[in-house]
Structure 1
Amino acid sequence: MFSQRRLGVALYFLLLSLQYVVCIVDPISLTIGAGVGLGAWFGGFGVLKDQTYCRWSECCNERSIKGDIGELRRTLTEKLYGQHIVIQQLISALEAHINPHSSSRKPLVMSFHGTPGTGKNYVADMIAEALYEKGVNSRFIHKYRGRLDFSIDNDVNKYNYRIYSDVTKGINDCPLSLFIFDEVDKMPQGVFESLTSLVDYNGLPDNLSGSKAIFIFISNTAGVQISHQLAKMLKNGAMRENIKLSAFEQVLEKVSYNIEGGLKKAGLIEKHVIDHYLPFLPLEKQHVLKCIAAEFKKWGRDPKEGVIESLLQDVITYDREHGLFATSGCKTIEKKVATEVWIN
């Protein structure tokens, strides 16, 4: 009995010491892809870590970073309405980026543009849920909001230092980290200058490899221009589902560079380190109808006759210039449907 107790105590302290070590020495070499193994880390130690500490804690490994692009494709197809360009481009970009055979030497950098309620943050959350086992709660996701984190024009130098520090620490912690900058149009000009060199080719210090990191910028910038371009094409007889990215990409880059906000005159644009400018098209009535139906489905309810049409009248205000697009998209649908469910 005595010897068994001593053995148990010894094993307990051994496990504690292993946890301490792996917290400090977290491997930063990462090879990941859907259905592809990570390979050995530090010889047998990586296997030991996976079977001990990482069984209970989130680690930069295959268990915690699932990289399930198939899940993302299904979720986008089922739950994102009116954004065929985003679905096509996003899936291809992410598949190529996390592929273990990719030879890219820089992070994946994407900029999401569109009017409110078109799904920009919704898609960013979908990406997080598909890539990480803990989804939006993963410690490998770093999210910033313009109004909250970078609101004072005179503090640009401080913000640049913070971004530089956060990004280098985040990538050191895990190469496949996700950095999301929301409300970029509300940030002061110049806030991303320290980031430019970090996301460029071989731009990280201390031999860090950031080629598997992902950066997403989210903005309402160019939403008006997207609406104008789409309305023009629809009125000329184009089918919405046949419209290509090429109809918007140069407009998004030009407007982002010239309009007030975090990307104005930014080195990120001048040095062409943003890989994809993705337009989130304004939503039409047919898309808002799908949003309403999806919300009722979440509650397990079939709406009574006339309820959806009544909700449409409450939530849809069409843009004044074209009379085609819902000005708030699906932004207020969730709360409106929830209220309707509880009333009835």
Structure 2
Amino acid sequence: MNIRVGIMRLAMFLNWFMTLYWTWLMCMHYLEKGPPTITTTTDDFIGCKPDAIDFRTSLSRMIWKLNTKIHGQPLAIRPAIRLIKKNFRFLSTGSPIIIELYGPPGTGKSYFCELLAESMFYNGLKSEFVNVLDGEDLYLQDEKLSLYTDELRDYLRGNLTKCKKSLFIFKHTEKIPEELFHPIQDIMLSKMGGIFLFTTTESSPIVSQIYAHLLKQGTEKGQMNFKHYEPALRKPLFNIGERLLFLPMTVNELKMCAVDELAQMGHIFLTDCVTESIYKRIPVDKFGYTNITCKEIIQVARYVAIYGNCDI
């Protein structure tokens, strides 16, 4: 009886040992081989050459720029990076990336679009594969709207046929006639690829009010979530894609806008001078927030860098 029990225990031990051994071998094989590779290559975007940046470089550059260049926007950057990591590789298969950007003026929406363009193409916003349509420039009469709708559909299709990585930026979408969104949606659903960005300042006053109310309640920006603001925002333009929200900024976050601009201009030595002026002259509330925008601070930084005068 004791011999039988001993044999059973030995068999159980050997079974456990072999399971552990094979698990270890599989782990070592995975570490040597590395994670599954991303199948998308530059050749998948051959029509985008020579302006297109290599796929892997483009993806890593995009994530790095969004993490380091846009400050104080957790409700925009975190979901954006998550979406890009998940879907960027599928552009070559025809799956588009669709992002709607909400928020007050000067909080980083246009800068977000610019960073994506710079990450994808060597010529950035000037690339032939980056297309910008501004709602403020559209003054279409009803009789011309139908014609422009067909032209827009052909324009989108032509660009995506040539380059599946094409970037389309639609600014001030609250001013774009609703009829023009039909051809855009048709193209997106046709699985031709492309990244589509839609920015709007609509509902900005209500967003700012909710923002101030949450701060008074003791809710910090990092603790806020999209659901706090969703009732104030318009319905999504499309039933697909991601919605990002840009919020008002603190003085410290605005300071980082100035530092980035000075570093880009090669005048980082002026940082103390500029930030001292920012702290002295920008009106803030008791929570340290202000209505001054990142765009305005960048203009200040450029003025100081050009004229070398901090008396602003």
- TM-score norm. by structure 2 comes to 0.73
149, 158, 181: which one pairs with 1:160?
Answer: 149
**C-alpha displacement at 1:296, in angstroms?**
3.2
Mapped to 2, the partners of 1:103 and 1:139 lie a distance apart of 18
The structure with the greater share of residues assigned to helix is 2
Equivalent position to 2:255, from 289, 297, 301: 289
Change (3 A) 1:297 1:141: closer
1-structure distance, mates of 2:56, 2:92: 20
The separation in 2 between residues aligned to 1:116 and 1:175, in whole angstroms, is: 30
| 2:82 maps to which of 65, 85, 92 | 92
Q: Partner of 2:303 in structure 1?
A: 339
Unaligned 5+ runs, structure 2: 1-35
Structure 1: 5+ residue runs without aligned partners?
A: 1-32, 257-267
The within-5 A match list for 1:264-279 is 268-269=237-238, 272-273=239-240, 275-279=241-245
Q: TM-score, normalised by structure 1?
A: 0.67
Aligned residue-pair number: 271
Indicate which of 287, 308, 324 corresponds to 2:275: 308
Shift of 1:91: 0.8
The verdict on how the C-alpha distance between 1:126 and 1:179 changes in structure 2, with shifts beyond 3 A counting, is same
Percent identical pairs in the alignment equals 21
- Verify: 1:38 aligned to 2:41, yes or no: yes
1:304 to partner: Cα distance? 7.9
RMSD: 3.4
Structure 2 matches for 1:37-186, cutoff 5 A?
37-38=40-41, 58=49, 65-66=55-56, 68-100=58-90, 106-148=95-137, 150-154=138-142, 155-186=144-175
1:331 alignment partner AA: K
Give distance in 1, aligned partners of 2:213 and 2:37. 40
Give the whole-Å Cα distance in 2 for the aligned partners of 1:297 and 1:144. 30
Q: Match of 1:181, as an amino acid?
A: F
Q: 1:219 — aligned with what?
A: 200
Residue deviations 1:166-189, cap 9 Å, x none?
111111112222111112233334
CA 1:327–1:188 in structure 2 vs 1: closer, same or farther (change >3 Å)?
farther
In structure 1, how many angstroms separate the alpha carbons of the residues matched to 2:162 and 2:171? 22
Residues 304, 195 of structure 1: CA spacing in aligned structure 2 closer, same or farther, 3 A cutoff? closer
The amino acid of 1:326's aligned partner reads T
Answer with 1 or 2: which has the greater Rg.
2
